[in-house]
Amino acid sequence: MRFNYRDWVLAVDPHNLIFIDESGLNLGMTRNYGRAPRGERLYDSCPKNRGQNISLIGARSYGRTNC
């Protein structure tokens, strides 16, 4: 079965491949830690609401040029 898959992969034209990636974040995200000068305490505010979710999808291909 591995050999069949290897033969199939070698037969695929890389120009026909499209790679897709998905990432996400929340606008209400905040760090739970920070840095301050030695001997000083760090104070900061954080959002009270949960924030909006954002999804990002990107795609990339080898691409063909018609030059």
The tens digit of pLDDT for each residue in 2-29 reads 999 999 999 998 888 899 999 998 877 7
Chain centroid to CA 25: 10
Average pLDDT, the chain: 84
Chain centroid to CA 42: 30
5 sits in the region (left: phi over 0; alpha: psi -120 to 50; else beta) called: alpha
Taking the C-alpha atoms of residue 4 and residue 14, their distance in angstroms, rounded to an integer, is 18
Q: Considering the entire predicted model, what is its pTM?
A: 0.49
Structural domain boundaries in the chain: 2-61
Environment class of 31 (CB within 10 Å of its CB; exposed 0-12, middle 13-18, buried 19+): exposed
